[in-house]
Structures are given as C-alpha cells and as structure tokens.
Copies of this chain bind each other. A is one copy, B any other.
Amino acid sequence: MPNPPSLSKKTAAIISRPARPQVAQLLPGLISWLDDHNYQIIVDEQTAGYVSGQKVIPRSDIASHPPDLVVVLGGDGTLLSAARATAAIDVPILGVNLGSLGFLTEVPMQSLFPMLEAIAKGHAAVETRALMQVELIRDDQVQGSYLVFNDAVVNKTALARLNMYDLFVDKNFVSTYRADGMIVSTPTGSTAYSLSAGGPVLMPIVKALVITPVAPHSLTHRPLVVPDSAEVEILLRTEDELAYLSLDGQPGVDLRDGDRVRCRRSEHHVKLFRTGADFFHVLRSKMKWGERQAYE
C-alpha cells in the first residue's frame, strides 16, 4: 500500500549491531517498508556491512542529518550507542531485539512491521527516558563532557589498591568511600551494573539518580538515591593515579588524583517507541521472576 508522494520526504536512520544473521534477514523488508512509506533512508557503517546501495552516515554524524525515525537492530548495547548519538535531536527510536528481550530493545523481530504500522498511523506509544550529563573536571577545567544513558563509573585499575572517593551532592559532602569503584546511575541504568553492585531497581519515571559503591570497604556504605535535580560529584583521591572513568560500560578514560566527575540530569532525553508491555513485564522477564504464581 504505497503512500502518496509528499513534498517533504521524511528521513529514517537504521543503526545495526554487526555480524548478526537476523539483521541480514530483517533489513530488506525494513528498507522496502521505509521506501514504500516515503522515507529517505540513511544507514550507519555497521548497517552498510549488510546491504549496499544505501546512503551511509557514520553513527556519530547521524544527528547532523536529523532523521525523523531511528530504527535500531540489535541489543541494549547498540541502542545505548544510538541513544547517545542522537540524544541532541529529540528523535524517537524503535529498538528491535534480535531474539532476547532487552530492557531497552523491548520489541521482538516479529513485531517490527506491526510497530512500524502503528508509528505510521501515529498510534505508537512513546516513552521518555532521562539522560545524564557527565563532566570530567581536572584542575578546575572541564576535560570532557559526555551524555550517558545508563551510568558513569569511576573504578580502580589492576595496579591500584583501594582508592578513596569523596562524594558530594549539591556541593554538600556526603562521605569518603573506600571502594573498588563508584557508580552514578540513571533509573534506566539501575538494572545494569548498579544492580550487580547491590543497588535498587528504579522505575524509569522516578526523577532520581542512584549512587552505588562497588565492594565498599565500610559495610555501612549503601546505595544512595538522590533527586535528579541534584548535582552529584565524585572526587577521586588516589596516591597512585590509577583509576578510570567508564561511561555506559565503554572502555575507560584515565583519571588522576584530584579529578572530579560531575553528574547531573541532561536537558536531553531519549524517546523510545514501546509496545503495550509495561516496565514490569520486561523486568519480570529479564529478572526471571516468572508470572503470577499459584499456591503450591
């Protein structure tokens, strides 16, 4: 059912995980559907590895050719990357998983076309997720600024003994932590690394950040939930200058004694197309909680 020609064509970007046979299967149909629905198509380098003849834009430049729709074929990792790349342009993302349900890529392959139809008709639900702006500050200079979806982690290296971290919330000193590392997580990230380190699950709509120490020396140091209007700052104190900052699980940036990692809610958000399933449906599935239980 081809659409009538439109004066201003819309643009759709396809971002893919490399080396997955399922992506190769999905792409021809997806491209046809987008063509039929009058979308101009751009693909990232990874997608270009599966198909030829499409306009290729590096993932990091996609925001400069602002699409009206982003389709992600992959897992949560691919979607995290796509979300950071397009956060500044407020475009909704359709995240399709390739077999195993993701916290973010909730849409199964068989629902790709029904979801596209719903999007075309304006029926698809969109969920907004908070992002976190992270700055690395050295000698009172901003050395780097990053947009993260899950978490910022300051961690020790192989050669370091226990590091110390001073935590501040809105410039108020909280405590000195001796720990392997410190995680500052969005609600979205609360089901990722923070959970492994003993943090709580936050519903995505809670306006909060959670700060979770990893293997803290003091057993009384527990995860701390702060409003997302707060500025969270971690001051690294290490004699050996052996620590690093990792963002959304990416390989780390080296840190030095005295470096500060400052986290606050970003003004940007991520918009995700959702199936009807609520957060708890995904949570039950990912946490293996099973469905409602009968009496034994």
Which residues of A does B touch, CB under 8 Å?
A: 155, 157-159, 161, 164, 166, 169, 172-176, 178-180, 187, 190, 193, 195-203, 205-208, 210, 214-227, 230, 237, 239, 244, 246, 249, 251-252, 254, 278, 280, 283-284, 287-290, 292-293, 295
Contact = CB atoms under 8 A, between A and B. Distances in A.
Contact of A201 (B222, B239, B280): B222
Given A161-B249, A169-B280, A292 B176 contact: yes
Nearest to A289: B175
A252 B242 CA distance: 13
Given A158-B155, A159-B252, A224 B196 contact: no
A289 B214 contact: no
Contact of A283 (B159, B174, B225): B174
Contacts of A254: 158
Given A176-B289, A196-B219, A237-B295, 15 more contacts: A161-B249, A173-B280, A174-B280, A175-B289, A176-B293, A190-B225, A195-B222, A196-B216, A196-B217, A201-B222, A201-B223, A202-B208, A203-B224, A206-B206, A219-B222
B158 A246 contact: yes
A43 B176 CA distance: 37
Given A161-B249, A251-B159, A293-B176, A225 B196 contact: no
Number of this chain's copies in the assembly equals: 4
A176 B214 CA distance: 21
A186 to B, nearest CB: 12
A175 B220 contact: no
Contact of A293 (B164, B198, B278): B164
Contact of A200 (B164, B210, B218): B210
Contacts of A218: 289
Contacts of A217: 196
Nearest to A230: B203
A159 B67 CA distance: 32
A127 to B, nearest CB: 14
Contacts of A190: 225
B200 A199 contact: yes
B197 A215 contact: yes
A169 B202 CA distance: 13
Contacts of A278: 172
A7 B249 CA distance: 67
B221 A289 contact: yes
Contacts of A155: 158
Contact of A207 (B159, B176, B207, B221): B207
